[in-house]
A and B are shown apart, each in its own frame.
Chain A
């Protein structure tokens, strides 16, 4: 661990440290990128098969019409909450320790959204007609049905993507302007173009800081609404254990929970790989670990409320789903979820002696798996146990779904690696406390 707090490092040192990982393309980087790329291509091939042959080659069946794709959609949109929470909340409360982690988090948001946003298209029976959801005058002489939660979803995700891209881009401008000065390779042109001719005048700084403050407020409101609307895709249906008023906040908590976990995993990777030990210190991990612990407890609270009310209410159709989850075919997943989302983080992070870099990362990986299982249980257990018992079924994916799911994780790795190679993963100008902050 670094002896000096990163804030006390000289400006030149910081810049050198953070710009250094950008320059050489070493063989490890290229190899990992290629490996990720192969997985992405495999996923695209699988999708090609699905488009060509029909949805029948997936494991979906009547009545389980939503499977891996919708689970992945909810999962990735959940991950995308990493950036917004860390960045917007911490920015609004002016928490100083946020500084080295904001950009890493905002980048997760943008890429997770891009990936998550693909799933509603992938899961369509006729994916090539997805644009029929967009209200443009068309040959069918028909507008979309604005009463459908899927159209709400479309609006919400478009807003969120727009907002989070701008939110990532704005604080990137000063750094890109610096890079345009320093860098002498082919990238110089890209940097200069992206910097919009930033010169560092006080007019520009004023506009930037004001814009960031306002964006933080707006993006926070949007982020919460987006995951609420994702939850409403389920809650608006009258299916047992979907039609629940608690779903909005339950999903938001789950999203923030998995978002923090994703951020911790990414942070521990870039810390090692890019040698940023001096910048991503124990302080950041510790604070995030405590946040993760808090969210774990909140998640437990919501899960308990959700299941207890169903059990006590003892309504037959809901009990069918409840039984399938707790002691039926999905019971192993359910209890694995409880262990991964609550027991593991609670022990590893709750006991101070056990809380280290490694255990925090392990707990985060567990939470990611656990949260994926949570969405699996929500989507599949309900659909497999509809009100009429004659239609009951159990779902298992085929290689198509597995390949596409694996491809999205590979796509995340690929996008993130390219981003980290192009731009400093820690905001350089924001990192230093302003020399005159106490003024």
Chain B
């Protein structure tokens, strides 16, 4: 995935779309204040300059799906591991809740189900049937909308055609009004995402840690 920071307006449409797509429970301001909110993607704000002459910068942060993820080896029950497609996946049923993965994530993108999830009326009727509801006591995080990846693959197989670039769009990508986010196959050098990731504007978040993130941030070099 690539995220163009020069295009991001900080509207948080991605956050709302993610909540709707992935059955993420809502939280109240009081609960969020206590650190109980669950987000698979969040928009970090950075301020440049002195008040009142400030420049605001936004950076959507989601699971970076690291090639060498620090969260994976510390899990004692293999609840998080790298699947053959290169996604860092979280298996909710295996999780016993040691919290270790979240502690070892330098991007702080993992959320914990502090309680059994609840939705205000009538939202509990509007769950996405493709995504499981997580039990209280397990860790969760962005899955790159793996249900959409699976569905697109199935459709392609039924139509007897290879999966084309752009067939899969995670909820955040689909909902971004500024079209700042692009999703695709990094293994395919011809895909749009590969070309953007290879462009001179591309950086990775904390690449110096050696985690080899698969999310690339595009930014003007100045």
Contact = CB atoms under 8 A, between A and B. Distances in A.
Given A55-B112, A61-B35, A145-B78, A150 B100 contact: yes
Interface string A381-401: 001001110110100000000
Interface residues of A, number: 44
B117 to A, nearest CB: 10
B98 A124 contact: yes
Nearest to A234: B103
Contacts of B37: 62
A148 B96 CA distance: 14
B201 interface: no
B211 to A, nearest CB: 8
Interface string B78-115: 10000000000000011111111011101110011111
Interface in B29-85: 34-37, 42, 44-45, 61, 70, 73-78
Interface in A382-426: 383, 386-388, 390-391, 393
A29 B90 CA distance: 52
Q: Looking at chain B's contact residues, is the secondary structure mostly helix, strand, loop, or mixed?
A: loop
Interface in B95-145: 95-100, 102-104, 106-108, 111-116, 135-139
Contacts of B207: none
Interface residues of B, number: 42
A148 B111 CA distance: 20
A388 B37 CA distance: 17
B45 to A, nearest CB: 7
B96 A63 contact: no
B96 A129 contact: yes
A91 interface: no
Contacts of A125: 95-99, 112-113, 136-139
Contacts of A56: 36, 114-115, 136
Contact of B76 (A62, A148, A383): A148
B103 A151 contact: no
A54 B115 contact: yes
Contact of A236 (B61, B74, B209): B74
A64 B96 contact: no
Interface string B174-213: 0000000000000000000000000000000010010000
Contacts of B73: 145, 147-148
B35 A150 contact: no
B99 A126 contact: no
A239 B74 contact: no
A356 to B, nearest CB: 44
A387 B77 contact: no
Contacts of A61: 34-36
B75 A145 contact: yes
A388 B61 CA distance: 10
Contact of B77 (A54, A55, A133): A133
Smallest CB-CB A-B distances: 9 pairs: A125-B97, A61-B35, A56-B114, A125-B137, A65-B99, A391-B108, A148-B76, A54-B115, A126-B137
Interface of B: 34-37, 42, 44-45, 61, 70, 73-78, 93-100, 102-104, 106-108, 111-116, 135-139, 206, 209
Given A54-B136, A60-B114, 19 more contacts: A55-B114, A60-B99, A61-B35, A62-B37, A64-B35, A65-B103, A126-B97, A126-B138, A129-B96, A132-B96, A133-B96, A142-B78, A145-B78, A150-B76, A239-B106, A386-B106, A387-B206, A388-B61, A390-B61
10 contacts: A55-B136, A60-B114, A124-B97, A125-B112, A126-B95, A130-B96, A148-B76, A150-B100, A237-B100, A237-B104
